[in-house]
Structure 1
Amino acid sequence: MQRIGFIGLGDMGVPMAMRLADAGLNPLLWSRRPESADAIIPRGAERAASVSELFAKCDRVVLMLADADAMDEVLDRGSPDFAKKVAGVTLVHMGTTPPSYSEALEAEVIEVGGQYAEIPVSGSTGPAATGDLVAMTAGSPTALAATEDFVNHMCRTIVPCGDVPKALQMKLAVNTYLTGLVMGLFEAFSFARDADLNLQTFQKVLEAGPMNCDLMRMKLPKLLNEDYTPQGSIRQACNNMQMIVDEGARIGTSMPTANVMRDLVEEAARSGWQDEDMVAIAKVLSKTGSRD
């Protein structure tokens, strides 16, 4: 049995699974919303009727799910079915969960005869569609070797980080830096807008200087055009920011910017923008400024 299963066809999962299908790897797919696979099936993927069928037919299973609760539900964690599903399978965790969760899950997978690879990715839907994600890997050499023939179709760069949960801790560290970048851009945009500056001139100055980067070129046009189509949603940002703040508290490091960003994304979610792109934070800043 040599087959890849892919569970979780959300904003990131769909383009990632599509990369596997386009590479001729014939992935077997499952999602709570079966229609999520519709665009991938014609490109060489198949749809599993159930999670149990997928695990029975695949020796490697990618999980690209929203959170730990969704993973536990899919795996039947805490029940006898967990061992039935996972024994003999390499479980590949590519989403973002608390590092402590991943560490405990690895131990349980190994205990019932499976293998576990922790491979979170950095990037949004654009890089996912072009195979330009950055993968951070953790796990045993045997577990990671089982992923080598397919992760490279989704990820341009693959960076070993050590033992589980170091890849997820690295992801949170990288996201902490991302937090500072987007926070600065959103706040600068709000300043320029509220000062009645020419926003195209603002864009021109940023693009001409040392702060020009892929992230700025991706997010600034969305701000200018009030385009809230999600590349990374407020809902995802709420989960990620809470994980960053919690892990920072656990390891004893100060996270002032992360705490502010968490408050902003939570305010955006309360305002009903949870399914919009992170640039919706600019609307929060506008609301806040009008109250001051």
Structure 2
Amino acid sequence: MVRYCRAFTADFFLRARRPGRVRAPVGVLDEATPVVQASLTLAAEEIRTRGCAPGPVRGPRGGSCAAGRRASESRGRASGHRRTGRTGRTARGGTVTTTIGFIGLGVMGRPMAHNLLRAGRDLVVWNRSPEATDELRAAGAVVADDVDGVFAAASTVIVMLVDEAVTDAVLGRGTASFAARAAGHLIVSTGSTSPDYARGLAADVAAAGGRFVAAPVSGSRIPAERGELVALLGGAPDDRAAARELLAPLCRELLDCGEVGGGLLMKLAVNLYLDVSIAALAEAVNLAARAGLDLDVFDAAVQSGQLASTVTRVKVPKLVSRDFAAQATARDALTNTGLIADAARAAGAATPLLDASAALYAEAVALGAGRDDMSAVLRAIEERSG
């Protein structure tokens, strides 16, 4: 199927460039379509090396992955729990007993913590910016004074932090505090880091007498609010089982990905597809706008076609209306492209489409869109278009 798709892409754009054919406006097809150009280069290479001719795009029907299991049963069990602790208190030292600790209440962490509360779990939370804890306190969470308050109050702690440096700083890695926090605890990291970093952190947690699961979640703010994330679990079998039960109220799917690092590698592979897709959607919207097309009709055409998906239903309207309120930020997308590139180089995998997309995300961040939604990569494409 890949062979036919590449051939079809090459045929379409090569035909578009021939004399007498309809062509995109100057400055649109080449200078401001880096993802298309990268795709075209790959397609041309395929034709040269394999001699494949353009033809109909055919392939097997999509199948379902048997490796995972739905979280609905676990979510149902979780929703039957009732919170028994008092609410709205402040955790000091080891005086508060609660079930789950949660550190990191950003764009993703806040709705995840809310869903744990809705499932009836006792929750103690902490965030580097204290104001982010106010709505969790109002919803019934216990707010710790500091990180040590979380670890004193809970034997299982979820961390949803922005990157490796922040994770190390919050956990106190490399200091005497780290061993005291990790000992006797199950730490579940749901953010995105490199697989090697997670393996190193897991080794340090184990040396301190704790357990560690790297369970990055796939999805953005809206799936997080709806409890429809996908968790990719990496760790020892017993620890994965514990994390599965813990994360069930947050997810529609929980997939076992082997030892620590396996889930992160899986997420990086998935995010390669996502990051390139969002850049390609932005490129398509820019072309449609500059060619004078009705963008509402363009949106309808995308949503009515075979490429329609949850991503297109969310991102195309945002691109058309220039609504860049963050669901997943452009800076996060740029960070992810770096992690993906490192993993790809280690595996000996070429990433021409990722490389083109990464340059666009970097340009968008440089233009001041770092805190905007990743669909703001459109700004970089518009800047290239002049």
Please give the TM-score of this superposition, normalised by the length of structure 1.
Answer: 0.97
| 1:18, distance to aligned residue in structure 2 (A) | 0.7
Cα pair 1:24 1:44 within 8 Å, conserved: no
Cα drift, residue 208 of structure 1 = 1.3
Where does structure 1 lack aligned partners over 5 or more consecutive residues?
none
2:257 is matched with which residue? 161
Mapped contact 1:60–1:146 kept (Cα < 8 A): no
* Matched AA of 2:184: G
**How far apart are 1:23 and its partner, in Å?**
1.3
The answer to whether the Cα contact below 8 Å between 2:98 and 2:122 also exists between their aligned partners in 1 is no
Residue of structure 2 equivalent to 1:3? 99
Structure 1, 57-66 or 20-29: larger mean CA deviation: 20-29
Distance 1:271 1:207 in 2: 30
2:342 equivalent to 1:246 = yes
The alignment partner of 1:271 has SS state of helix
Contact 1:29–1:45 (CA under 8 A) maintained in structure 2: yes
State the shift of 1:2 in Å. 5.7
The residue matched to 1:24 in structure 2 has which SS?
coil
Matched, 1:187 2:272: no
Where does residue 247 of structure 2 map in the other structure? Answer: 151
Structure 1 residues 95-115: Cα deviation after superposition (integer angstroms, max 9, x where no partner):
001110001111111111100
Contact 1:179 1:257 in 2 (8 A): no
RMSD in angstroms over aligned alpha carbons?
1.1
CA distance in 2, matches of 1:164, 1:86: 16
In structure 1, what residue type is equivalent to 2:267? K
| Alpha-carbon offset, residue 156 of structure 1 | 0.7
**Could you say what secondary structure the match of 1:163 adopts?**
coil
2:132 to 15, 32, 36: 36
In the alignment, which of 178, 185, 208 is matched to residue 82 of structure 1?
178
Asked if 1:71 is matched to 2:171, the reply is no
In the alignment, is residue 211 of structure 1 matched against residue 321 of structure 2?
A: no
Structure 1 outlier segments of 4+, above 3 Å: none
CA contact (8 A) 1:22 1:44 kept: no
What stretches of structure 2 of length at least 5 have no aligned partner? 1-96
Aligned pairs, number: 290
Rounded Cα–Cα distance in structure 2 between residues aligned with 1:179 and 1:257: 10
Q: Is the 8 A contact 2:159 2:187 kept in 1?
A: yes
The reply on whether 1:53 has 2:149 as its aligned counterpart is yes
1:104 is aligned to: 200
Between the aligned partners of 1:35 and 1:180, the Cα distance in structure 2 is: 34
SS at match of 1:110: helix
Q: State the AA in 2 paired with 1:219.
A: K
Which range moved further: 84-93 or 251-260? 251-260
Counterparts of 1:224-239 in structure 2, within 5 Å, are 224-239=320-335
Provide, for residues 82-140 of structure 1, a one-character-per-residue CA deviation record: whole Å limited to 9, x for no partner: 11000000010100011100011111111111001111011000000010001100101
Whichever of the two has the greater Rg, that structure is 2
Equivalent residue, structure 1, for 2:42: none
* Corresponding residue SS for 1:20: helix
Structure 1 Cα separation of the partners of residues 246 and 195 of structure 2: 24
